């Protein structure tokens, strides 16, 4: 029986809360944020690994140690001599955020350079998770290598979850993003898109349109996020609108969608049906926006998930 979860992508150094020039440094990135939530909400014996590439610098070593401290492994992720992690800083306007990035030479861009190590990391997993950002940081040959390895894992019985997570600045063109994300959908079992992203990239005019387009692309389970508006869940031919939770005291919306994804996937791994999984995911996301940074404490995630 296949077990455990691996999430694929880039975990960066995160600078947040920079009032008066005093910044807090943490570790975050879309697919890592999701895995963090999965780790918090699954049984301790569930294997969780983050697949990326690391440098051999002190910050990379600290990042690996941070993962291990929280029960997250690194599978067969390569260590690239002379490389280092990417970094971003969060600027807030109220609870809404913007980002400044330093990531063009990040080690994670080489996560698919060794096809054998990549295949080993993905082997015998219950769930593989990746995103459009994972695809965007890779050059086209490496992107093809990753999708091929994911396809092989899926054919061997692993479930694949994917968030298109379109970020225009990371792609050379809109057409390139559409092509790569459409290719990823062909190996996807559970899609977790965000409606504004899908509207920007595919011109969808409603979340239900996004859900139907992905269903027609062959994705069997879909949860379309839309901020504080309802999520639309498509599964086994049915479509349901799942109300979100209004948060009047939000501090920082960083990582809200990622935590929704993590809670949804944790619920599905536990055998919870999709509509209730989305309800629980809304609760977790509502808790995450009440704290600074992308990673909420495990105890907060667990409490909100269980409510």
Closest CA to 73 of 53, 55, 54, 47: 47
Among the options 204, 226, 252, 258, which is catalytic?
Answer: 258
Q: Tell me which residue of 242, 55, 156, 122 sits closest to 130, measured CA to CA.
A: 122
Q: Find the distance separating the first CA and the last CA of the chain, reported in whole Å.
A: 30
- Tell me the CB-side half-sphere exposure of residue 169, using CA atoms within 13 A: 7
Respond yes or no: is residue 258 known to be catalytic.
yes
CA–CA dist 192, 75 (Å, integer) = 24
Distance between CA atoms of 235 and 138, rounded to whole angstroms? 31
Give the residue carrying structure tokens 């009047």. Answer: 248
Active site residues: 258
């Amino acid at each position: 029986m296949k077990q455990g979860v691996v999430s694929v992508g880039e975990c960066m150094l995160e600078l947040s809360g920079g009032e008066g020039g005093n910044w807090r440094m943490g570790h975050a990135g879309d697919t890592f944020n999701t895995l963090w939530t999965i780790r918090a909400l699954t049984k301790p014996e569930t294997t969780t690994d983050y697949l990326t590439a690391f440098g051999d610098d002190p910050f990379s070593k600290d990042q690996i140690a941070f993962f291990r401290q929280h029960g997250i492994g690194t599978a067969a992720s390569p260590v690239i001599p002379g490389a280092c992690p990417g970094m971003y800083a969060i600027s807030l306007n109220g609870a809404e955020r913007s980002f400044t990035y330093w990531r063009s030479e990040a080690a994670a861009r080489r996560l698919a350079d060794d096809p054998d190590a990549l295949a080993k990391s993905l082997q015998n997993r219950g769930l593989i998770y990746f995103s459009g950002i994972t695809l965007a940081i890779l050059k086209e040959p490496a992107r093809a290598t990753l999708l091929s390895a994911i396809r092989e894992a899926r054919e061997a019985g692993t479930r694949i979850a994917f968030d298109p997570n379109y970020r225009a600045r990371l792609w050379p063109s809109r057409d390139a993003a559409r092509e790569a994300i459409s290719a990823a959908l062909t190996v996807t079992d559970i899609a977790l898109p965000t409606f504004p992203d899908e509207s920007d990239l595919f011109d969808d005019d409603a979340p239900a349109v996004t859900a139907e387009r992905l269903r027609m692309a062959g994705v069997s389970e879909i949860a379309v996020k839309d901020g504080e508006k309802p999520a639309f869940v498509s599964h086994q031919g049915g479509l349901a609108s799942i109300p979100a939770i209004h948060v009047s005291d939000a501090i920082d919306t960083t990582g809200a969608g990622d935590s929704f994804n993590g809670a949804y996937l944790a619920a599905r791994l536990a055998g919870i049906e999709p509509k209730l999984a989305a309800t629980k995911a809304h609760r977790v996301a509502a808790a995450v926006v009440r704290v600074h940074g992308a990673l909420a404490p495990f105890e907060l995630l667990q409490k909100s998930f269980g409510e």
